[in-house]
Structure 1
């Protein structure tokens, strides 16, 4: 992984990435730390992996706070931000990366609870800590972002619809975020090679990833997509608050 943001460009800032003990979240938090940001690594149930990443990032000379939280539990979310406030006093970058819904054994409404309700709850809980000039980034997929106009694999459709519902609910908050001077941007990517979602989709629908790769010409890997997410935390916000990553030629207009 090469450094994405200029060294020291985020010195003195604090960034929290949900679901950052592994995958896209871990690489995003690493890019932000490499730019000098103090970081909050959030995980649901992989404490040792989160602690290992924190130790690595502290080696860069930044502070790294590790906080476990179940984002579908409001109490747990409040405790997360109480810890952030106690340690850092405020927050400059919030990346809403954690999502799911394809896990086995979850309640029928789990995808909607995590991908819509929890995303809004996390942002509302973070608001008191987000000052003028802060940035919120919501991470989604083309399959979810364009679900109203472009069908997706049946196995993924409930997740796609729940993530689009989450995106819509967050977009409704843009006017109130603007009033506070808080920027908001959605980063949407195609299927990302090497993610848990891609693995589960491949298991449910063998050949799905290779078919999509062939159709798109290229699929981003985890570190490449994470670089786009980190960049979205600092780049000027597009007029439509949307950063599309990768090919969208096979997706209809929203």
Structure 2
């Protein structure tokens, strides 16, 4: 896979802005799009992420090696699959009822959100990460590799090479990683799970994952109840 130098972020909300800040600090070239016109978000970007380039979705994707989806989950189908064809894509989205509305209108209850995102963008390679830690924690707790009490992020996807590359990217952004080569395992970090909202070290994150099946959320998943 191509080396990641240019990072594109679709979504100029709180998560998108924080990830743009971290990516710039890590030395990447960053382009970001929002729900409105380029002119509408330009001032926000200039103020909060000086150095990032505001662009249309097409402009972001065309010039980026890695795309981060940081939009409300209910809006991912507003993006045409062919726009992201051949791209490495990070799914940083979550279902959230206050933003997305009724779950059954957004997601098929028979599979996880990231499985459905991967199925929709079936010509792209999707990896799930950045979704279980709050944007404040992402902003405030990024640390260099080897730093004491460095926090970790869960990284899951079906393509091993892509997952490894995204894990390396996450490391440059300031976080250790716990990697799973199965995108369905992203269910462990979705709202309702013990990990959602958690800011943990790699050891503590791994411990929670190891005991996932014993949690109430894990038992629900095993029983076929998602949500």
Unpaired runs of 5+ residues, structure 1, are 1-10, 69-79, 101-110, 145-151, 178-182, 191-219
Q: 1:171 to 1:29 in 2, by over 3 A?
A: same
Whether the aligned pair in 1 keeps the contact of 2:4 and 2:65 (CA below 8 Å) is no
Q: In the alignment, is residue 223 of structure 1 matched against residue 181 of structure 2? A: no
Per-residue CA deviations over 1:155-201 (Å, capped at 9, x if unaligned) read 67844334435644432267744xxxxx42124846xxxxxxxxxxx
Distance in 1 (alpha carbons) for counterparts of 2:23 and 2:131: 19
Root-mean-square deviation (CA, aligned residues, Å) is 4.1
The residue aligned with 1:118 is 78
Per-residue CA deviations over 1:215-250 (Å, capped at 9, x if unaligned) read xxxxx5323257699985720662112544461534
Q: Secondary structure at the match of 1:91?
A: coil
Determine which of 185, 190, 194 is the counterpart of 1:247.
Answer: 194
Whether the aligned pair in 2 keeps the contact of 1:41 and 1:54 (CA below 8 Å) is no
The residue aligned with 1:127 is 85
| Equivalent residue runs for 1:76-155 within 5 Å | 80-81=57-58, 83-84=59-60, 90-99=63-72, 111=74, 114-115=75-76, 117-119=77-79, 121=80, 123-127=81-85, 130=87, 135-141=88-94, 144=95
The number of aligned residues is 161
The residue aligned with 1:74 is none
Q: Secondary structure at the match of 1:235?
A: helix
TM-score by length of 1: 0.48
Q: 1:160 to 1:31 in 2, by over 3 A?
A: farther
Per-residue CA deviations over 1:39-85 (Å, capped at 9, x if unaligned) read 111112385654343465445xxxx22125xxxxxxxxxxx31x347
Unpaired runs of 5+ residues, structure 2, are 143-150, 156-164, 169-178, 196-214
TM-score by length of 2: 0.52
Greater relative contact order, per chain length (Cα 8 Å cut-off, separation 6+): 1
Distance in 1 (alpha carbons) for counterparts of 2:28 and 2:90: 16
Whether the aligned pair in 1 keeps the contact of 2:84 and 2:121 (CA below 8 Å) is no
The residue aligned with 1:210 is none
Q: 1:30 to 1:188 in 2, by over 3 A?
A: closer
Q: 1:96 to 1:167 in 2, by over 3 A?
A: same
Q: 1:52 to 1:188 in 2, by over 3 A?
A: closer
Q: Secondary structure at the match of 1:234?
A: helix
Whether the aligned pair in 1 keeps the contact of 2:11 and 2:33 (CA below 8 Å) is yes
Q: Secondary structure at the match of 2:20?
A: helix
